[in-house]
Amino acid sequence: MTTPSAPPAPPSPRATPPGPLLRAWGAAAGTGALRGLLRPPHLALPVPSAAERAVWRLPDAGDTDDTGDVDDAEGAEGAERPGAADATTVRAVLARARGDLGTPWPQPTASGFARYWRDGDRVGYETAVFARQHRLSRAVLAAAVTLEDRWLDEVLDGVVLLCEQSTWCWPAHDDTRTRHGSVLPTVTDPYLDLGAGEVAAQLAWTLHLLGEALEERSPGLRTRVGHEVRTRVLDPYRARRDWHWLGLDGDVHNWNPWILGNVVTAALVLGDDLGDDLGDGPGARAEVVSSAIADVDRYAASLPADGAIDEGFGYWWNGAARLLELLEVLEHATGGALGATGIDPLREVVAFPHRMHLGGPWYLNLADAPARPGGDLPWEVLHRWGRRLDVPGAVALAASHRAAGRPAATEAPGLGRLLRAVTDPAWCTVQPAPPPLERDVWLPSTQVLLARPAAGDSRVVLAVKGGHNGEHHNHDDVGEVVVAAHGVPVLVDPGRPTYTAVTFGPDRYTLWPLQSGWHNVPVVRGHEQLPGRDRAASHVVAAADDGTASLGLELSGTYPGGSGVESWRRTAVLHRAEGRVRVTDAWRLRPRAGEDAGPTRLHWVVAGEVTSLEPGRAVVSGLRGAGTVVLHWEAAAARARLEERALDDPLLADVWGDRLLRLVLELTDPPPAGSFDLHVEVGP
DSSP string, 558-603: GS-GGG-EEEEEEEEEEETTTTEEEEEEEEEEPPPS-TT----EEE
For the chain, which residues score pLDDT lower than 70?
1-16, 59-82, 273-282, 593-596
SS3 state of residue 199:
helix
Cβ(183)–Cβ(128) under 8 Å?
A: no
The per-residue pLDDT for 10 is: 44
Cβ(418)–Cβ(137) under 8 Å?
A: yes
Distance in angstroms (rounded) separating the CA atoms of residues 490 and 371: 11
The per-residue pLDDT for 168 is: 98
SS3 state of residue 639:
strand
DSSP state of 424: -
SS3 content of the chain, % helix, strand, coil (to 5): 40, 20, 40
The per-residue pLDDT for 372 is: 95
Nearest CA-CA partner of 500 in 106, 254, 170: 170
Distance of CA 34 to the CA centre of its chain: 31
Consecutive H or E run containing 74: helix 72-80
The per-residue pLDDT for 110 is: 96
Phi, psi of 614 (to 5 degrees): -140, 170
pTM of the predicted structure, to 2 decimals: 0.93
Distance in angstroms (rounded) separating the CA atoms of residues 605 and 643: 9
The per-residue pLDDT for 282 is: 62
Cβ(323)–Cβ(67) under 8 Å?
A: no
440-682 adopts what CATH topology? Beta-galactosidase; Chain A, domain 5 (2.70.98)
Nearest CA-CA partner of 201 in 335, 52, 45: 45
Cβ(258)–Cβ(246) under 8 Å?
A: no
Nearest CA-CA partner of 209 in 40, 47, 53: 47
DSSP state of 516: G
Residues of the chain with CATH 2.70.98.70: 440-682
Strands 638-646 and 628-632: unpaired
Cβ(357)–Cβ(397) under 8 Å?
A: yes
Distance in angstroms (rounded) separating the CA atoms of residues 485 and 460: 5
Distance in angstroms (rounded) separating the CA atoms of residues 546 and 549: 8
Give CA separation, 189 vs 2, 170, 390, in Å.
Answer: 18, 14, 45
Phi, psi of 523 (to 5 degrees): -110, 115
Cβ(164)–Cβ(158) under 8 Å?
A: no
Query: What's the CATH number for 20-428?
Result: 1.50.10.100
Nearest CA-CA partner of 436 in 388, 488, 489, 398: 398
- What is the CA angle 294-299-301, rounded to 5? 85
Cβ(126)–Cβ(198) under 8 Å?
A: no
The per-residue pLDDT for 281 is: 57
Tally of residues, the chain: 684
Residues of the chain with CATH 1.50.10.100: 20-428
- What is the CA angle 217-219-222, rounded to 5? 110
